[in-house]
């Protein structure tokens, strides 16, 4: 007998996948000894993990980021945070304020850690965690770079780099509030840049030692972050 998968089951399945991915972000943050993630920071971390994921052909589940003035925003994330708190997988750590708004800061619990350690028995889940882990390490490496916003603290400072992210930046330039940010490998400025970086040595004249400038995928990712930072500094100068 062929089992039927109802639309509701598909929806539930998708929701669980998203919950897992959010949990991986918290797990990676904990490994990096980051004390907490705010709800602003988590949006940015998930966005970068998602928009860059075609580089490693990883399929993540958040495709519905829209342009808001505070950066890319997915309404699902707040619901998932509430869901994870109700499961005791993450907990409220503290509160912070920004422009009179109160923001909740979350951190992973032991239950959350144990959930992740079980989930990664599945190789696909493990691959997702590895991907998010490396994006988080880059976020950690750049969050304290010189001249990033003084308005924010910790991981939230990465907001200045996310504003320079090509797919977001393009919509920001035309002030397309509420517009869906294109994700995936096609018709997307982010991937256009990534693909250029993947074969950057071929674009240099033969006089250059092309082999020396061939980038592996981790260096492509680092070059991408450096590009965002350099663009930010250039715009600020």
∠ CA 118-121-122, rounded to 5°? 115
Query: Rule CB under 8 A: which of 24-53 touch other proteins?
Result: 33
DSSP letter for each residue of 45-91? HHHHHHHTGGGGT---S----EEETTEEE-HHHHHHHHHHHHTTSEE
Query: Rule CB under 8 A: which of 3-22 touch other proteins?
Result: none
Which of 13, 94, 204, 217 forms a contact with other proteins (CB under 8 A)?
Answer: 204
Name the residue nearer to other proteins (CB basis): 15 or 215: 215
Which of 8, 144, 175, 178 forms a contact with other proteins (CB under 8 A)?
Answer: 144
Task: Write the Ramachandran bin of 205: left for phi over 0, alpha for psi from -120 to 50, otherwise beta.
Answer: beta
Least separation in angstroms between CB 229 and other proteins: 7
Task: Please report whether residue 197 would count as binding other proteins according to CB under 8 A.
Answer: yes
Question: How far is the C-alpha of 125 from the C-alpha of 131, rounded, in Å?
Answer: 10
Least separation in angstroms between CB 181 and other proteins: 18
Task: Please report whether residue 137 would count as binding other proteins according to CB under 8 A.
Answer: yes
Which of 21, 140, 160, 165 forms a contact with other proteins (CB under 8 A)?
Answer: 140
* 103: nearest Cα among 44, 172, 27: 44
Bridge partner list, 102: 97
Question: How far is the C-alpha of 206 from the C-alpha of 210, rounded, in Å?
Answer: 7
Question: How far is the C-alpha of 226 from the C-alpha of 49, rounded, in Å?
Answer: 16
Task: Please report whether residue 168 would count as binding other proteins according to CB under 8 A.
Answer: no
CA-to-CA dists, residue 167 to 17, 146, 194, 223, angstroms: 24, 24, 12, 17
Name the residue nearer to other proteins (CB basis): 87 or 223: 223
Task: Please report whether residue 111 would count as binding other proteins according to CB under 8 A.
Answer: no
**CB-based contact 177:69 (threshold 8 Å):** yes
Which of 30, 134, 152, 202 forms a contact with other proteins (CB under 8 A)?
Answer: 134
Task: Please report whether residue 219 would count as binding other proteins according to CB under 8 A.
Answer: yes
Choose the binding region for other proteins from 50-58, 106-114, 116-124, 204-212 (rule: CB under 8 A): 204-212
Which of 26, 142, 152, 163 forms a contact with other proteins (CB under 8 A)?
Answer: 142
Choose the binding region for other proteins from 66-74, 97-105, 117-125, 191-199 (rule: CB under 8 A): 191-199
Question: How far is the C-alpha of 118 from the C-alpha of 234, rounded, in Å?
Answer: 44
- Residue ranges in contact with other proteins by CB under 8 A: 33, 134, 137-138, 140-142, 144-147, 192-193, 196-197, 200, 203-208, 213, 215, 218-219, 222-223, 226-227, 229-231, 233-234, 237
């Amino acid at each position: 007998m062929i089992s039927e998968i109802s639309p509701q089951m598909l929806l539930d399945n998708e929701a669980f996948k998203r919950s897992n991915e959010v949990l991986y972000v918290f797990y990676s943050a904990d490994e990096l000894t980051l004390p907490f993630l705010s709800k602003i920071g988590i949006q940015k971390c998930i966005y970068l993990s998602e928009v860059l994921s075609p580089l490693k052909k990883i399929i993540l589940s958040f495709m519905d980021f829209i342009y808001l003035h505070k950066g890319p925003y997915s309404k699902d994330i707040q619901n998932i945070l509430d869901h994870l708190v109700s499961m005791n997988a993450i907990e409220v750590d503290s509160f912070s304020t920004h422009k009179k708004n109160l923001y909740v800061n979350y951190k992973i619990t032991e239950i959350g850690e144990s959930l992740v350690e079980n989930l990664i028995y599945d190789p696909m889940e493990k691959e997702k965690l590895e991907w998010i882990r490396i994006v988080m390490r880059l976020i950690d490496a750049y969050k304290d770079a010189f001249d990033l916003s003084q308005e924010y603290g910790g991981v939230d400072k990465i907001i200045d780099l996310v504003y320079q992210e090509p797919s977001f930046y393009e919509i920001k330039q035309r002030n397309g509030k509420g517009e869906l940010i294109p994700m995936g490998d096609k018709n997307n400025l982010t991937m256009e840049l990534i693909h250029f970086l993947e074969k950057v040595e071929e674009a240099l004249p033969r006089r250059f030692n092309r082999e020396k400038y061939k980038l592996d995928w981790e260096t492509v990712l680092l070059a991408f972050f450096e590009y965002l930072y350099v663009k930010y500094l250039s715009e600020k100068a």
